[in-house]
Structure 1
Amino acid sequence: MKSTGIVRKVDELGRVVIPIELRRNLGIAERDPLEIYVAEGQIILQKYQPNGEREDVTKGLEKLKALVSSTDKDVLERAIKLIK
C-alpha cells in the first residue's frame, strides 16, 4: 500500500475528513456511499459498488497485483478476499 503522507485526526463524533485531492482522484463525490472493511488491524474504505460491479473491481485489483511489490500484493490479496 502506498502512503499519501496525509494524517487526519478523528473528531469527537468519530469522523475523519477525506481530503478533497484523494476524493477527486478516487472519484468519490459528496454523499457517495462507502463500504468499510477491516483486515488485520487496517480499516479499508471503498466506494460502494453493487455486486455486479464488484467483479470488475476484483479483476482490476488482480491486474494491479502484477505491477506492485510483494508486500503490496499481500495487501491487495486481502482486499480482494474482503470484496468477494
Structure 2
Amino acid sequence: MKPAGFLCKIDKLGRVVIPKPLRSKYALHTDDTIELFTEPDAIIIKKYAMSCTFCGNSEDLTDFKGKPVCADCLNKLKELNS
C-alpha cells in the first residue's frame, strides 16, 4: 500500500479526521457512509456502495423484500418461482 503522506491523530472519542485532499480525491462527502475493513497490519476505509445480496453487483439494483438485488439475480429468482 502506497503512503498518502498524511499523519492523523485519533481523538479521545476514537475519531479520525480524513484530510480534505483525500476526501476530495475519493469523492467522500458529509453524511456519506463508509465501510471499514481490517487486514493484519492495516485498517481500510472504503466508500460504501450498495450491492446485490446474492452476487455483489452494484449496478441496476432493485429492492426485493427489503434487500438490494440486481436485475440478473431478480430474473433468476423469478425463474425459480415459475
TM-score range normalised by the length of the shorter chain:
0.5 to 0.7
| Aligned CA-pair RMSD | 1.4
Encode CA deviations 1:10-62: one digit per residue, 9 max, x unaligned. 0000000000110000000011000000011210000001114x646xxxxxx
Q: TM-score, normalised by structure 1?
A: 0.60
Question: Sequence identity of aligned pairs in percent?
Answer: 36
- Structure 2 residues not aligned, in runs of 5+: 59-82
4+ long deviations beyond 4 Å? none
Structure with the greater alpha carbon radius of gyration: 2
Greater RCO (Cα-Cα under 8 Å, separation 6 or more): 1
For 2:9 and 2:31, the matched residues in 1 are separated by 21
- Structure 1 residues not aligned, in runs of 5+: 57-84
Which residue does 1:66 correspond to in 2?
Answer: none
More helix by share: 1
Q: TM-score, normalised by structure 2?
A: 0.61
More strand by share: 2
